[in-house]
Amino acid sequence: MKTFLKKHFKKILITGILIGSIILSINIYIVKSTEKYVYTDIKKLPKVEAVIVLGAKVSKEKLSYVLEDRLIAGVNIIYADKAEAILLSGDHGRKEYDEVNSMRKYIIRRNFNIQNEQIFMDHAGFDTYDSMFRAKEIFNIKSAIIVTQDFHINRSVYIARSLGIEAYGFSVDESMYKETVRFNWKAREMLTRVKAFKDVLLNSNPTYFGEKIPITSNGMKSWDTIEKSK
């Protein structure tokens, strides 16, 4: 092994530098091309068709603090009359793990002044690319405010705009989280941006398509059958 490394050290070094340069270039491009569309002040946001709240970890029906922060910000954007509908997009690929219904039930449990008809649910938002693709193709969203934390916001806006959505990002404050947590988010995000760049470049398909439910219709059409009857 040592002999192999000595023999091929130069090639390995050049390859490593090349890969690192590509990763860095893609990250810079995604951040720089989207930063003008990212806001931290709700009052300055433009008016759009829908707010898209991206899912995050839940435990049974309890939202993680990350997701709770996103959802509250999304509700406040609706309150500010920046959109008429809210799309909750997340992972509901298994019966025992359900981000979207957890978000919807949180809104209802907290008695937020949002009508059921305004709440749309994307049960197949397994990653950010799937969420944005389906927002465009399944929910026919033409303009949106995407809500997520700062580390994630540029990639989200980049994907949405690349797919044809007039997208703006609301960056949820993440300063209350530990520095080590934020560092890990940002380190992982560098690689995830490369995947997003690849998905956009190849015009990848989402995990699932499905029946169209326009964001201008009744959001309850996107709810689970069992939940509709309750």
Domain ranges of the chain: 26-228
8-11, long-range: CB < 8 A, 24+ apart: none
Higher pLDDT, 13 or 54: 54
pLDDT of residue 95: 81
- Please determine, for residue 230, whether its predicted confidence score (pLDDT) is greater than 50: no
pLDDT of residue 3: 64
Beta strands in 22-161 (DSSP E): 38-39, 50-54, 58-59, 62-63, 85-89, 119-122, 143-149
b/e for 7-27, b at 16 or more Cβ within 10 A? eeeeeeeeeeeeeeeeeeebb
Structure tokens at 162: 């690349």
Q: Which element (helix H / strand E) includes 162?
A: helix 150-162
- Please determine, for residue 12, whether its predicted confidence score (pLDDT) is greater than 60: yes
Percentage of the chain beyond pLDDT 90 is 83
Structure tokens at 90: 């997340």
- Please determine, for residue 229, whether its predicted confidence score (pLDDT) is greater than 50: no
Percentage of the chain beyond pLDDT 70 is 93
The closest of 74, 85, 87 to 49, measured between CA atoms, is 85
pLDDT category, 26, cuts 50, 70, 90?
very high
Give the mean model confidence (pLDDT) for residues 22-37: 97
pLDDT category, 74, cuts 50, 70, 90?
very high
Give the mean model confidence (pLDDT) for residues 21-46: 97
CA distance 132 to 207: 12
β-partners of residue 167 are: 144
Give the mean model confidence (pLDDT) for residues 58-64: 91
- Please determine, for residue 109, whether its predicted confidence score (pLDDT) is greater than 80: yes
β-partners of residue 135 are: none
Q: Does the domain made of 26-228 have the CATH classification 3.40.309.10? A: no
The closest of 194, 198, 226 to 121, measured between CA atoms, is 226
CA distance 144 to 139: 11
Q: Following DSSP, what letter does each residue of 99-137 receive, concatenated?
A: HHHHHHHHHHHTT-S--GGGEEEETB--SHHHHHHHHHH
- Tokens 């690849």 found at: 198
pLDDT category, 195, cuts 50, 70, 90?
very high
β-partners of residue 172 are: 149
Give the mean model confidence (pLDDT) for residues 33-54: 98
pLDDT of residue 227: 54
β-partners of residue 166 are: 143
CA distance 6 to 26: 31
Tell me the three state secondary structure of residue 148.
Answer: strand
Give the mean model confidence (pLDDT) for residues 189-204: 96
